[in-house]
Structure 1
Amino acid sequence: MDVMFVKKYYEEFEPDEKRKTKGRTITETDIVLHAGQSGDFFPHHMDEEWCKTQPFKQRIAHGTLIFTVAIGLTAELVNEVSMTYGYDRLRFIAPVFIGDTIHVNVTIKEKRDHKKPGMGLVTELVEVLNQHGRLVMLCEHLLLVHKKDS
């Protein structure tokens, strides 16, 4: 993946500004590796036969896997004057299956001053969609961003 480094200061963020990432297909290997790394071997992710008896009829990707991949997709743009402050309102809206391709839409939701001098807080709405345009996950990404005049 080509990564672009930028210096975008707090004052340069505009509400409703948008960007879209490339897509990434979720594989069985992704699910197996994530289960091993996280310790989450729930049958919803690992047991094909059991899943056939459940409403979705197939294995589903871990929500935490989709969160991780989605945030990774946004890392094609690295702002050298900001850092992640946290994530709020994380929701898993719909299942992601093996073979689904996800991409991320990022929209600047709001910005406000921060108590730390010379810094501002920018909130990005992170929307993860599958290949059918269906919303599968969303959250708010909080960025602590340097102000230009600091």
Structure 2
Amino acid sequence: MIVEEYFEDYEIGFTRTTFGRTISEADILAHAGHTGDFFPHHMDKEWCATQPFKRRIAHGTLVFSVGIGLTASTINPHAMSYGYDKLRFVRPVHIGDTIKAKATITQKRDHPRKPDYGYVHEAIEITNQSDETVLVCDHLYLVNRKEALAA
């Protein structure tokens, strides 16, 4: 779906929540292959059974990728991702856990050098099936203005 929103259209406090997605063993295997991260925490069921967490843990970067992917339900030709800040893996995600994402607009600010753009900050919270927070981060968008600021 295409949504055309300019900087002025974003409202602080606006929140959207995604559907869930269950993390599978196949997800972990594919992610390990893509990234080269074959640490036993993710791959070795028997070793994990001897550790305090007892089960394999999904890669934090996998949880981030899937969680952010869940928020990508629209295309806005006036905005682009400018990056992510303050990324934290709050608690582990295991095979069979279902995650969902909540995104809340928290801040808008002018671009310091480009009067036809602004920054929009979005707080991302990814939770599991028990509504426990598993990951948080801040997402920044670079967004066109309807009208450039006066110089």
Shared fold (TM-score, shorter chain, > 0.5): yes
Q: Normalization by structure 1: what TM-score?
A: 0.96
Secondary structure at 1:78 match in 2: coil
Q: State the aligned residue count.
A: 147
Q: Distance in 2 between matches of 1:37 and 1:117?
A: 39
* 1:1-150 equivalences in 2 (<5 Å): 4-114=1-111, 115-150=113-148
Q: Distance in 2 between matches of 1:23 and 1:148?
A: 34
CA distance in 2, matches of 1:65, 1:116: 34
Using the size of structure 2 for normalisation, the TM-score is: 0.95
Structure 1 runs of 4+ aligned residues shifted over 3 Å read none
SS at match of 2:51: coil
Structure 2 unaligned runs (5+)?
A: none
What percent identity do the matched residue pairs reach? 58
- Distance of 1:80 and 1:131 partners within structure 2: 33
Letter in 2 for 1:143: Y
Alpha-carbon offset, residue 23 of structure 1: 0.7
Aligned Cα root-mean-square deviation (Å)? 0.7
